[in-house]
Structure 1
Amino acid sequence: MRRITWVLAIVMSVAILVAGCGKKDATAVVQDLDKVMSKLESYAGIGTMTLHSGQQPLEYRVEVWYQNPSYYRIELKNEKKDITQIVLRNKEGVFVLTPSLNKIFRFQSDWPENQGQVYLYQTLVRSILSDNARQFTADGEDYVFEVAANYQTDSLVRQKIWLNKDSYAPKQVQVSDSDSKVIVEMKFNQFDFGKKFEQDSFDMQRNMTSMKNAALPNTTVEVDKLPTGETKETNAQVDNSEHPDSTEPSSGTTEGTGSETTGSDAGANDRSNDEAELGPFGIIEPSYLPEGVAKKDEPAIPDSKEHAVVIRYTGTYNFTLMESRPKDMETGLPVGEGLNLGFTVGQLSGEEQKALTWMYDGVKYRIVSADLPTAEMVKIAQSLVDQPGK
């Protein structure tokens, strides 16, 4: 009888030991994540991002590529409006590309190193590693972390991150405000480490031309069919007004300051036709305003070649919203701080008087204010996305 009891005790002990094998606690997972980050060379992911900050949710198809040390390509597509923008970082700077409209928004910044992005793996892992008060649970095939959010805005305070147990690939992210309301949600349906990219996969000119032809050829990343845009190439004039010292030609577009363009007369005719097709866009007003803020006036800008409009607001905060449709292919800005707007990346500049500038659907927006908080600027920018011109 004693022998049977001892045998049962040994069997139960082994069973408990086996059951415990393979289970990891938060410390072990964090150590593994630190190792993954130290060896991270490249990745590619596809998913859907939803912004719940406005009256209606805004949904974007997101495709993200990363190549060590600091090459990024993020494609953001608004399925509802069929608008695709590419945020690109390479050794030449940061670009926001709108290939279908042949528009390039360029600025010098260390984005995204200076801020978090919900669709970037580095952002998610660093937030886990840096939060000593992190909460951890194992849920089926996933590890789930709840940690502090770090997205350059006080309105986003917590985030919940789901990671695959086997590969530590991200599966889902929910970012919440102080009332525990989910404001940003990212769901990955594909994420692969160690992707091999062609040498020019992060080249600005290649991304502009290849997107017009509906695909990026010769890449090992499997993606859905990309949207089709214009197939003709436009040798448009580059705006160097904010870079007066620039004398280098932009890739295949212009030489010198932009007063003379390379290309044929047919290219010039294409530019004229494109500009005629775009024309005025009306006045696009935000659907969101901070409490206590009201529209003041709309100072007229007569004979504006860029169809520029100005709207001034006053009240709790005072700010000016400027909108224009640049004719030039490339719009450059001085050095500033990249700011994630969700649907694209803008540039925040200035100290006493701040200016947030971004490009979307061929329209250049600029909010200028001495007292409007950055978080409110972001909300106003997001509320302009689905607004029609009046």
Structure 2
Amino acid sequence: MRRISWVLAMVLCFSGLLAACGPKDADSVVKDLNEVVGGLESYQGSGVMTLYSGDAPQEYKVEVWHQKPSYYRIALTNAKKDITQIVLRNDDGVFVLTPSLNKSFRFQSDWPDNQGQVYLYETLVRSIIGDNTRQFVDEEESYVFDVAANYNTHSLVRQKIWLNKADYAPKQVSVSDANAKVVVDVKFDKFEFGTKFEKEAFDMQKNMSANAGQSQAPAEGTITEPSDSESGEAVPQVNEEVTTPEDNAGETDPGTESGTPEANAPGAEVNNEQAPANDAAESPEATDETTGAIDIPELGDFGVIEPTYLPEGVDFKGEPTIMETEDDYAVMLRFEGTYNYTIIEARPQDRASSYAVTSPVDLGFTIGMITTELPRTLTWFDEGMEYRITSDDLPESEMVKIAASMQDQTGK
């Protein structure tokens, strides 16, 4: 009898050890993720993001830095064209930097708290924790969650997230649309917690002047802002003058009568819609800043990019309208139907320019700026060009789709 009791005790003990060391369930992993995020001080990750929204997949190198409490640096580099855009958050606000164009836009925003980003660790963990209908798979080296996609665009519905079993670092994220088609895929080749960054890692001026393809070596410290004498470069200043391609487009337009306001100029009407006034100089929410450190290519004509996506019931009206002066060259496309909007394409100059109160918006291939008041304008930069969609009634989700369809197109 004693022998049987001893054997039973050994079996129960061994079973307990197996249970303790056995595979984790979803609830256990979620509990651990809460602890990881709660103790998160900093991280650094890099990988490749592939977009499947166009005719051909487009790849971007992604580099993500974060330091507690709210410092972020995200660099998106077009792998084929080697063009980098940087999204930066520090004590001065949120910046969208395009070093190759010598352009920087500053926002007073709580980004990324109000916008999920597929390459940010906190966004992924929040998606997992917040979805009570989450699906969970325990693979050999990864924990895989299938959860709802919590992003600003309604076209992204579900996402699968692969986490490293050893430390819960992200390995891969695949985001799908309503038809279960993968639209965005991110594969991390490196992700480390507890990174120590240099003092200037999140400094706007340093990120603008540094080579876009170079990373800064880690070394923890406080964020400082160099003076003119220390950096030897012109320090970006907030511009007070407001100048846009439409402002300098001339008195008349080939498609308008002499003496009428320039199409889509600030205060003018296009398709019975008033173009946005240049009131950003009075608003701190969005400011365009420039430096004199980079030479902008000489202006001239260019191939017009036409969107391959149009909302249902919308048609292209007429021919592109050319707005050309000695200093500017811009093209405007008009669209009418279910929604009425215009698209302006221009070569940005290294000069003072400003936009109405705006918020950053993730376009996938870059970060754009969208105004918060009607008429709304979505602005973004790509391959040395500036693009703007302006409308009174076009939803933001449709603007994003149109912008995505213009990416990687050949000008006509």
Decide whether aligned partners of structure 1 residues 245 and 356 sit closer, same or farther in structure 2, where only a CA change above 3 A counts. closer
Gaps of 5+ in 2: 221-231, 243-278
Shift of residue 217, structure 1, vs aligned partner: 4.4
Identity in percent: 54
Decide whether aligned partners of structure 1 residues 157 and 217 sit closer, same or farther in structure 2, where only a CA change above 3 A counts. closer
Decide whether aligned partners of structure 1 residues 382 and 252 sit closer, same or farther in structure 2, where only a CA change above 3 A counts. closer
Partner of 1:105, secondary structure, is: strand
Residue from 253, 259, 281 that aligns with 1:244:
281
Aligned equivalents of 2:392, 2:301: Cα separation in 1 = 29
Gaps of 5+ in 1: 222-231, 254-262
Shift of residue 47, structure 1, vs aligned partner: 0.7
1:286 is aligned to 307
Partner of 1:29, secondary structure, is: helix
Shift of residue 109, structure 1, vs aligned partner: 2.5
1:17 is aligned to 16
1:171 is aligned to 171
Partner of 2:401, secondary structure, is: helix
1:376 pairs with 2:398: yes
317-326 vs 279-288, greater mean Cα deviation: 279-288
Equivalence map 1:356-375=2 (5 Å): 356-375=378-397
1:147 is aligned to 147
Shift of residue 164, structure 1, vs aligned partner: 1.2
Shift of residue 314, structure 1, vs aligned partner: 1.9
Shift of residue 371, structure 1, vs aligned partner: 2.7
Shift of residue 64, structure 1, vs aligned partner: 0.4
| 1:349–1:355 CA contact under 8 A, matched in 2 | yes
Shift of residue 28, structure 1, vs aligned partner: 1.8
| 1:357–1:367 CA contact under 8 A, matched in 2 | yes
1:30 is aligned to 30
Decide whether aligned partners of structure 1 residues 218 and 158 sit closer, same or farther in structure 2, where only a CA change above 3 A counts. closer
1:224 is aligned to none
Q: Which amino acid aligns with 1:219?
A: P
Partner of 1:97, secondary structure, is: strand
1:219 pairs with 2:256: no
Aligned equivalents of 1:144, 1:19: Cα separation in 2 = 22
Equivalence map 1:258-337=2 (5 Å): 271=295, 274-276=296-298, 278-297=299-318, 298-303=320-325, 305-328=327-350, 331-337=353-359
Shift of residue 216, structure 1, vs aligned partner: 4.1
Aligned equivalents of 1:368, 1:52: Cα separation in 2 = 25
1:101 is aligned to 101
RMSD, matched Cα: 3.0
Shift of residue 59, structure 1, vs aligned partner: 1.1
Equivalence map 1:97-246=2 (5 Å): 97-211=97-211, 215-219=214-218, 239-240=239-240, 241=242, 242-245=279-282
Shift of residue 9, structure 1, vs aligned partner: 5.0
1:250-270 CA distances to partner (integer Å, 9 max, x unpaired)? 9994xxxxxxxxx8xxx8xx8
Shift of residue 180, structure 1, vs aligned partner: 1.2
Aligned equivalents of 2:135, 2:205: Cα separation in 1 = 44
Partner of 2:329, secondary structure, is: coil
Shift of residue 246, structure 1, vs aligned partner: 8.8
37-46 vs 333-342, greater mean Cα deviation: 333-342
131-140 vs 169-178, greater mean Cα deviation: 131-140
Aligned equivalents of 1:125, 1:48: Cα separation in 2 = 20
Aligned equivalents of 1:56, 1:104: Cα separation in 2 = 30
Shift of residue 380, structure 1, vs aligned partner: 1.3
